[in-house]
């Protein structure tokens, strides 16, 4: 059973930066696909960024060029560096992790994610 612990959310002004972290524990061998989703009240949870077992990344179009996902494999921890933040980025951000190494497309993955973090709020004003 994989457990995810997130940190790094908070409030920031438009144009500012935040970095989210998600530490995974419980992987028996190599980590699986990991990533970030976000959700605002009344809307569906949507993909933000993912990184597969081999380090291949994928981003939602709305965050390309502003957000960067990275990983410390020794710690099974992923990071989401968020720059040039906009009010539209305001949401609850959820870390996601899978047992499989390859990351599915966000629209498919969101309904079959193996493990979710508890969520961390990001507010941009």
- Look at residue 89 in the predicted model and tell me its pLDDT: 98
Average pLDDT, the chain: 95
d(CA 97, CA 24): 8
Question: CA-CA-CA-CA torsion for 81, 84, 89, 94, nearest 10 degrees?
Answer: 0
Please say if the pLDDT value at position 26 is more than 90: no
State the pLDDT at residue 30: 82
Residue 38 tokens read as 């976000």
> What is the band of 118 on the pLDDT scale with cuts at 50, 70, 90?
very high
Q: What is the mean pLDDT of residues 75-84?
A: 95
The pLDDT assigned to 105 comes to: 95
Task: Find the mean pLDDT for residues 51-61.
Answer: 96
Q: How many other CB atoms are found less than 10 A from the CB of residue 21?
A: 17
């Amino acid at each position: 059973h994989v457990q995810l612990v997130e940190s790094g959310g908070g409030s920031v002004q438009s144009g500012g930066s935040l970095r989210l972290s998600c530490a995974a524990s419980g992987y028996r061998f190599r980590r699986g696909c990991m990533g970030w989703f976000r959700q605002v009240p009344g809307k569906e949870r949507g993909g933000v960024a993912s990184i597969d077992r081999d380090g291949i990344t994928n981003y939602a179009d709305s965050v390309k060029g502003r957000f960067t996902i990275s990983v410390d494999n020794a710690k099974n921890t992923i990071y989401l560096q968020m720059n040039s933040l906009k009010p539209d980025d305001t949401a609850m951000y959820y870390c996601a992790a899978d047992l499989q190494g390859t990351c599915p497309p966000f629209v498919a993955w969101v309904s079959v994610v193996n493990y979710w973090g508890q969520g961390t709020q990001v507010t941009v004003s």
